[in-house]
Structure 1
Amino acid sequence: MVSKTEAILMCRCPRCRQGKMFAHPAFHRKFSVMNKRCPECNLQFEIEPGFFWGAMYFSYALNVAEMVGVAILTSFILNDPGPWTYVGILVAAIFLLMPINFRYARVLMLYWISPIKFDRSYADRTYHAAK
């Protein structure tokens, strides 16, 4: 059985914690293609039209936390470089982390905001079907 934390980190369905939410790997040119339904339990991920618009707030929070961390690391590693060095490194980090932020914003939205809860019967059904 997969724990909630593992399911979030692996971008799995919140109901069965088995099915993949995204069709391609994170660093693929089609990183944003999300499955419409869970391949294991058939849950529709977008529970209402425009549901994932709220994921922008999660993405913003992730981005701010990452940029603070990158700025602190830059300061320590490069011994407080000039402002343009910070700008260059932060812009590069924003673009490198964009696929991760996109995915985890949606995953966190489904796990924390949506009414969808883990259902052991779906997890057991997909686990036994795989055997």
Structure 2
Amino acid sequence: MLKGTKIYSIFTGTCPRCHKESMYQTKNPYVLSDVFKINDNCSKCKLTYRLEPSFFYGSMYVSYGVGITFSVIAFLMSYLVFETSLMTAFIAIVITMIVFGPIIMRLSRNIWINLFVSYDKNLAKK
């Protein structure tokens, strides 16, 4: 349904140009030994994922925003919805950041590369 959009590529971790294969060697972000391992290029459209040396360092800036979003949601859920104390809300934020750390990292990388590479519907048809 969303194939062909940046949202699809961001949430599935697929190639931002053709959406045909995963950018990551291991799809599961909780395999911590492989969380940073990304394929060199797409086997379908030949897009090189590392557009330049140290390309994904820029995703650290995106990671900050994504982490803040997760933290705010954890705070609002614990403090306002479950009406816990501030200390419990803080603990909820810390636990959220630990549990969702690999997902935040992958989402940030996906967002970063999608800022620079657009979907090509002609490649998707091949």
**Per-residue deviation, residues 56-106 of structure 1 (Å, max 9, x unmatched):** 0110000001101100100134323142x2232211110111111111111
Aligned length: 122
Match of 2:18 in 1: 16
**Per-residue deviation, residues 19-56 of structure 1 (Å, max 9, x unmatched):** 21111112222222111111321211010011111100
Match of 1:46 in 2: 50
Counting only pairs closer than 5 Å after superposition, residues 1-131 of structure 1 correspond to structure 2 as 2-4=3-5, 5-24=7-26, 25-29=28-32, 30-83=34-87, 85-112=88-115, 114=116, 116-125=117-126
> Displacement, 1:3?
2.7
Structure 1 segments, 4+ long, off by >3 Å, are: none
Which sits farther off after the overlay, 42-51 or 70-79? 70-79
With normalisation by structure 2, the TM-score equals: 0.87
Structure exhibiting the larger radius of gyration computed from Cα positions: 1
Percent pairwise identity: 24
Q: Distance in 2 between matches of 1:36 and 1:7?
A: 17
Q: Distance in 1 between matches of 2:35 and 2:55?
A: 19
Which runs of 5 or more structure 1 residues have no equivalent in the other structure? 126-131
CA RMSD of aligned residues (A): 1.6
Which runs of 5 or more structure 2 residues have no equivalent in the other structure? none
With normalisation by structure 1, the TM-score equals: 0.84
Kindly indicate whether the alpha-carbon contact (under 8 Å) linking 2:4 and 2:119 is maintained by their aligned counterparts in 1: no
Kindly indicate whether the alpha-carbon contact (under 8 Å) linking 1:21 and 1:38 is maintained by their aligned counterparts in 2: yes
